[in-house]
Chain A
């Protein structure tokens, strides 16, 4: 046991040294993108494995963006699948009906972007009731929103109604998923370490107090909802073009629950936690596939046990050093040093 622990600590030290280099992120990004492009062009990887990697990326986008509302802002939104549906339908309608057949690959990012913007607009509309309602009632509002999106889509015949929408080409490739995943993680990470963080965290801790401290709670909520739903829409667009088929039933409350499980498994208010949660959950579901229906019995059971024994998830409220700004690390180091020197002073 102790040797295991020692090995872990040496590994951790190496990891911290590695991530400490200034060039770590650029090198990691370029290497990752090169790897994805290579896999996509030369195809030395199983298609099934590629698909799993694509789902991992999409789930990371969904989890990180939902964490902005549920983890950092402390509201409880269950409507994420609704935003995803909006993005998926907007992007698919563009690629199926509007774009010329020859230029699909070139215009694909535009379609995804349009899906994200559509979802962001809807997210803006959902942010408005969040000014007045909060807690359980906001959860119900977002849930009602999710159901409304689903039943509206079911009733519009132009988008296929309950039968769904077909005819997308398989445009979602590994490099694109990598790009959008990296972008969403980068944007949300920078957002939660910007000045915006103070507003969003103060809303989580006490909304009335933060209002009194002249935090513009409405603005903060709008930004959080718009950014979060924008990325959910992007994930939806990618999802639609990976699966090449969507119907309204895919985006019901079960999908939202899936994303919630990933958020709370990984840990609230933690970017690294969201990534870990999304990766573990997606891969675990694939590994457990031989169990058939029983896999869907164990998953909720895991969630319940998780909530009872570790309600904040794997990385709850903690952040890996990889995503923490340098000044936060040095501040903490200084604080620890001070505490060591004068332990009686309540720091």
Chain B
């Protein structure tokens, strides 16, 4: 009996080791697309298409030329797109987290008819695809002059409020009311109760919502491309789409250099906040 048990244990250990090796190989393959972007960003244009999978050699290597060229490529400086992407992402996320948490607290605690209507409209907005409103939304935003990086966060707040409200309301309902009642007995008005008592307690959900919004806004292409005044403002996805849109004349080496530059901060962000990102994504998925 004991013998058999050790034998199955042994075979299990061997199987796990084998699985570990298989998964390692799969992992390496999984990384190859990113690696190939990195490699190709150091190649001359014509070699990206013909020698995609070889390392740059003496003949095909372009050194850092692609990066230098990419900076001013497409008649729009790349650093400007980066700045606007950062501005839009930071402002939108801050706006969404602040205002939707306030609204969600009010909705969960007051629970009047209007609150319920707003709540259900928010839930409803989560199932509406962007194509449904894209034309009319871009016209409305244009009329209201929301077409700059400093005002487009209002559009993001409006279109993205649904999921955030939904997640915050769910969380607020799980917080016991007693704490807020105690605060109100101590003479705190609603504003102070929210900002000094409730707001700190919302932190875990804020991180989840914040992560989801950052991932959405940073990578979003269609909304800013329709709303922003594209002659003046571009974001990173719009910039890259513009480069490739002019097919045939495009410098693939320089494009890969820009793609490589735009992936690096994402990977750094991911590796440094991995725990929160995975938690936030799981929370958003389960609730959404």
**Do A and B come together as binding partners?**
no
Q: What is the interface of chain A, defined by CB distance below 8 A to chain B?
A: none
Q: What is the interface of chain B, defined by CB distance below 8 A to chain A?
A: none
